[in-house]
Amino acid sequence: MNIVIRQEGIEDHKVVYNLVEKAFKEAEHTDGNEQNLVEALRRGRAFVPELSLVAEVEKEVAGHILFTEARIGKDTLLVLAPVSVLPEYQGKGVGGRLIEEGHRIARELGYRGIVLLGYPAYYSKFGYLPSVTYGIKSPFEVPEEFFMAVELEEGSLKGVEGMLEFPEEFGI
Ligand SMILES: CC(C)(COP(=O)(O)OP(=O)(O)OC[C@H]1O[C@@H](n2cnc3c(N)ncnc32)[C@H](O)[C@@H]1OP(=O)(O)O)[C@@H](O)C(=O)NCCC(=O)NCCS
């Protein structure tokens, strides 16, 4: 299957909205609002256009990923949320490609690390560890293993410590 990852454009916004809604319809953990979160984040200060990516399979937009900026003390990291793949394309490597390409671009842009709330079994494949490993704390109560972080270069999260401040659009 040929998967092409590219930056999202204005013409993709409606397709992405529908895609995110469909992807989360059957998800285990959802508030049913992820598609609106994407729209709000796009309009906000934390948005990084280069890090709103779509995955195309045979010219169809099958997946989307968004990384936005989050503060921790005087440092800036990224939050990965949400990542969405259309149900009929799940389990075929689309999500993995979006994550890896996002990491590559984020590294190129000079970000030090990424934090997320997600399934350890999935995200550990991409190098994520419980964020407490790096001294990064969640601003809400959650079992430690679900709040995860990855370094974009070896040692790049050294000295980045404290409580992560999510973009205000998350409503945390
Ligand atoms: C989670 C999601 C983005 C993964 O994308 P995907 O394209 O299906 O995943 P990939 O094909 O790249 O990876 C599949 C691998 O991840 C594993 N995997 C997928 N979802 C998983 C989950 N919830 N928990 C553990 N492992 C999972 C698969 O077993 C598979 O493992 P393998 O590579 O060893 O065979 C996608 O399933 C999705 O959109 N789900 C609904 C929305 C959601 O829950 N998003 C994440 C929360 S922000």
43-87 per-position pLDDT tens digit: 999 999 999 999 999 999 999 999 999 999 999 999 999 999 999
Structural domains in the chain plus CATH codes? 3-170 (3.40.630.30)
How much of the chain exceeds pLDDT 70, in percent? Answer: 100
Q: Kindly tell me the burial class for residue 14, based on how many C-beta atoms sit within 10 Å of its own C-beta (0-12, 13-18, 19 or more).
A: exposed
What is the reported pLDDT for 38?
98
Give me ligand 1 centre to Cα 154, in Å: 25
The pLDDT of 78-101, averaged and rounded, is: 98
Q: What is the pLDDT of residue 26?
A: 87
Ligand 1 centroid from CA 123, angstroms: 9
| Atom 15 of ligand 1, nearest CA residue | 91
Tell me the average pLDDT of the chain. 97
The pLDDT assigned to 74 comes to: 93
First-to-last C-alpha distance (Å) of the chain: 38
CB contact at 8 A, 1 and 59: no
CB count in 10 Å sphere of residue 85: 25
- Ligand 1 geometric centre to CA of 3 (Å): 16
* Pocket of ligand 1, beta carbon within 6 A: 23-24, 27, 81-85, 90-96, 118-119, 121-122
pLDDT of 106 higher than 90: yes
User: Among 22, 90, 92, 170, which is best to mutate for testing ligand 1, by the most ligand atoms less than 8 A from CB?
Assistant: 90
Task: Please say whether the beta carbons of 115 and 67 come within 8 A.
Answer: no
SS3 148: strand
Which three-class secondary structure state does DSSP give residue 61? strand
In 36-74, which ranges are E strands?
Answer: 47-57, 60-72
pLDDT at 153: 97
Q: Average pLDDT, stretch 124-143?
A: 97
